[in-house]
Amino acid sequence: MDAPFRLTSLAHGGGCGCKLAPSVLQQLLGGALGAAIPRPFERLLVGTETGDDAAVWRLEGDTCVIATTDFFMPIVDDPRDFGRIAATNAISDIYAMGGTPLMALAILGVPMDKIPLGAVREILAGGAEICQEAGIPVAGGHSIDSPEPIYGLAVIGTCKAQQLRRNSTARAGDALILTKPIGVGVYSAALKKGALSEAGYAEMIATTTQLNRIGAALALEPDVHAMTDVTGFGLLGHALEVARGSALAIELDLAKIPYLPQAEALARDGYVTGASTRNWASYSESVVAPADLPLWRRHLLTDPQTSGGLLVACATKSANRFLNEICSAGHLDAAIVGVLELGSAQIVLTERC
């Protein structure tokens, strides 16, 4: 954590909390972007229509190319950790679609008059370290001198057409599994204010640099019907994308949702991000919550996750088997957090325990 300067002090936001609010993004994608496409592309299997994690193009036969890009401003002060987190987050989109990554291109913007050259090298080295762990090269990239530091990747992957998993193909009766605990945004807010312990920082780095490669394995299972990853819109926002895309309701069990160890205490103490409030304002009309839902819990449910876990919709009969496989792959806090039901596309919060 020791750094000669505060990397986060050079940016107005950090991590996936930098994302545009869901309501703003919906307005943008519903307008000029769609109108600019003069004709349908039959081989474009996944585009912007459901807010999925990546674009997918079908080649000859049953092979598909998956393309994504993700970048953001620093969420931590250590340059190498920043690079590692950003790379893990970008590669996650490929896994969330059921694919295997092939290669990455680096995206870098830095204020060269404010950041030492050695720190920039550390950012790039952190990203390359995660790419090596994922078994892919950083094959190139692009860099600019920018007012605020930005780093991320464009990632290319592949999958067979039958292994492609979208966020819009869940089925009524499916169980919903979350593979990582939530609370990264709360931890980042505490870090910026000097209130995150060394143990808390270690917890934050451990979860944000854990690859979601289990997604590629789950996509081989016919009983896994839909997947997405949980990032800047928070658990509620990304669950709502699944509900809307699948035209189903999702019931989330508040008692089953896993949190990072210090997340509740930090949220109770007010360490929350502005993105959490923006998220709630964007989609609260589609959330049915208990009247006594405490504010700290609402903040965690909308907490922007940087390099968060996967949401997996699967047949209920196989849910426990998949959960065991996910835990065996190192996601020890994974849990079955809800169920998909017939009904209007909304999130219903309950507490069964």
Catalytic amino acids?
Answer: 16
Q: What type of residue is 163?
A: Q
> And the tokens for 47?
């585009």
CB 43 within 8 A of CB 136: no
